[in-house]
A and B are shown apart, each in its own frame.
Chain A
């Protein structure tokens, strides 16, 4: 069963706008990771946030983690056409040894 569930499933925005997607999970985690996948390609790691962290930044990306609500969000600011991709959250459970992926959010950035 999926540990992480992304919302929305799909998102369409204009270039320059911000894109926000959310991830909810069910059990206590060690860390939560966000990945990007361009069509037909492998996944690229974006950010890892640990259970004792609340916010991390990387360039135009901002990730938050709320362990009380068992949720995380990924914000892409000033989006570009090249940000068009699927974005996946993945969790490592507190006593776990593997990543469990959600179904992903498909983001389309229109020029």
Chain B
């Protein structure tokens, strides 16, 4: 069953804590993306990766970090430097940079 998965569905962060959101795909896609969505808003690009061991900052990368050690995995770390992390985080993948993106179900991050 091919697809893209994200975990956890809900994540709670304490002040000063780093948290990591998981994103895995078995679609054999080269490109992967992380977006942030605030209530009633569109998606804003945080980071993207076009190939293993390479990634680029998107429009709102400050306070976030990523790695791409495997083709299937693109975890996102929300660091303590991100002062307003409460949002819905969406991961996506695509065959290449300009084609259709396939989205995971999202992770909702809340601050305690």
Binding site for B on A (CB under 8 A): 2, 30-31, 33, 35, 40-45, 48, 88, 90, 92, 96-104, 106
- Asked if A43 contacts B100 (CB within 8 A), the reply is no
Kindly list chain B residues whose C-beta atoms are within 8 Å of the C-beta of A44. Answer: 103
User: What's the dominant secondary structure at chain A's contact region?
Assistant: strand
Given A40-B106, A42-B90, do A101 and B43 touch, yes or no (CB 8 Å)?
A: yes
Chain A contacts for B101, CB-based, 8 A: 33, 43, 45, 99
Q: Is the pair B42, A96 in contact by a Cβ cutoff of 8 Å?
A: no
- Tally chain B residues at the interface, Cβ within 8 Å: 25
CB nearest neighbor in A for B58: A98
Q: A96-B98, A101-B42 are in contact. List 12 more A-B contacts (CB 8 A).
A: A31-B98, A33-B101, A35-B103, A40-B106, A43-B90, A43-B101, A48-B99, A97-B50, A98-B97, A99-B101, A101-B43, A103-B41
